[in-house]
C-alpha cells in the first residue's frame, strides 16, 4: 500500500506526530527521531512516498511546533536533493511560506502543483486544501478573480469526496471572491 499510495503513507506519518500533540509535554526530539528513522527505513526499502511523508512530518514539527521554519525548509530541500521532489514536499514548502505570510511565493508553488495534479488519481490528494490555501493566498494579494477560480475548483474536487461542508464552504468563498472581483454574474451562479 505504501509503495503505491502517498495518501496512505501521509496518513500513517500524520498519526505519529498528531499523537504527540495530545501529550501534556510533547517530546518533539523523540518524535523527530522516530520520523527520521521511518524516513531512513523507507529510503532503504525504496518507498519514496513514505520517505516524503516522513520529511513532511519532520518539517511540520519544525515549522508549527518548534518555530523553526528555516529548518523545516532545509529538511524539505535535503529530501529533494536525495530523493527528488514530490507534490507532498512542494505542498509543505508552500504551506510553510503561507504560514509566514509569503503569499506570492506560496501561490506560485501551489499553482505549479495544481497544474500537474490528476483529478482522477488515487494518489495523495492535496488539491482540496491546496485550492483553498492557494485561493486565500490569491485573495491576500488582491487577485480576486484568480481566488474565485481556485475556490471553485476546490469546491468541485470536494464534491467528489462527500465532504459537504468543504464543498459548500469553498463555493461560498468563490462567491465572495467573485463579488470582490466585480464578477456579478459568476457571483449569482455560485450563490445559486
pLDDT tens-digit map of 45-56: 999 999 999 999
Distance CA 43, CA 33 (A): 15
Q: Are 146 and 184 in contact (CB under 8 A)?
A: no
Distance CA 92, CA 64 (A): 12
* Cell reading at 186: 459568476
What pLDDT, in 10s, does the model give residues 156-171?
888 877 788 888 999 9
What's the pTM? 0.87
Distance CA 58, CA 36 (A): 8
Tell me what the pLDDT averaged over the chain comes to.
91
Q: Which of 180, 105, 106 minimizes the C-alpha distance to 147?
A: 180
What pLDDT, in 10s, does the model give residues 110-119?
999 998 876 5
Q: Are 35 and 16 in contact (CB under 8 A)?
A: yes
Residue 68 CA: distances (Å) to CA of 38, 60, 63, 94, 176? 21, 10, 5, 15, 34
* Dihedral angle of Cα 150, 156, 160, 161, to the nearest 10 degrees: 40
Residue 151: half-sphere exposure toward Cβ, Cα within 13 Å? 25
Considering only residues 122 and 9, tell me which one the structure prediction assigns the higher pLDDT: 9
Amino acid at each position: 500500500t505504501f509503495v503505491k499510495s502517498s495518501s496512505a503513507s501521509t496518513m500513517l506519518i500524520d498519526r505519529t506526530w498528531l499523537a504527540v500533540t495530545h501529550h501534556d509535554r510533547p517530546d518533539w526530539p523523540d518524535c523527530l527521531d522516530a520520523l527520521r528513522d521511518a524516513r531512513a527505513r523507507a529510503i532503504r526499502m525504496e518507498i519514496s512516498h513514505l520517505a516524503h511523508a516522513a520529511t513532511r512530518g519532520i518539517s511540520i514539527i519544525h515549522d508549527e511546533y518548534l518555530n523553526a521554519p528555516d529548518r523545516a525548509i532545509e529538511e524539505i530541500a535535503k529530501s529533494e536533493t536525495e530523493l527528488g521532489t514530490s507534490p507532498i514536499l512542494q505542498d509543505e514548502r508552500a504551506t510553510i511560506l503561507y504560514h509566514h505570510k509569503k503569499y506570492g511565493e506560496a501561490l506560485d508553488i501551489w499553482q505549479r502543483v495544481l497544474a500537474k495534479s490528476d483529478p482522477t488519481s488515487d494518489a495523495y490528494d492535496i488539491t482540496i486544501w491546496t485550492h483553498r490555501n492557494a485561493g486565500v493566498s490569491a485573495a491576500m494579494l488582491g487577485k480576486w478573480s484568480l481566488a474565485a477560480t481556485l475556490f471553485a475548483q476546490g469546491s468541485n474536487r470536494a464534491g467528489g469526496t462527500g465532504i459537504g461542508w468543504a464543498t459548500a464552504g469553498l463555493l461560498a468563498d468563490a462567491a465572495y471572491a467573485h463579488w470582490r472581483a466585480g464578477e456579478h454574474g459568476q457571483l449569482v451562479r455560485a450563490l445559486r
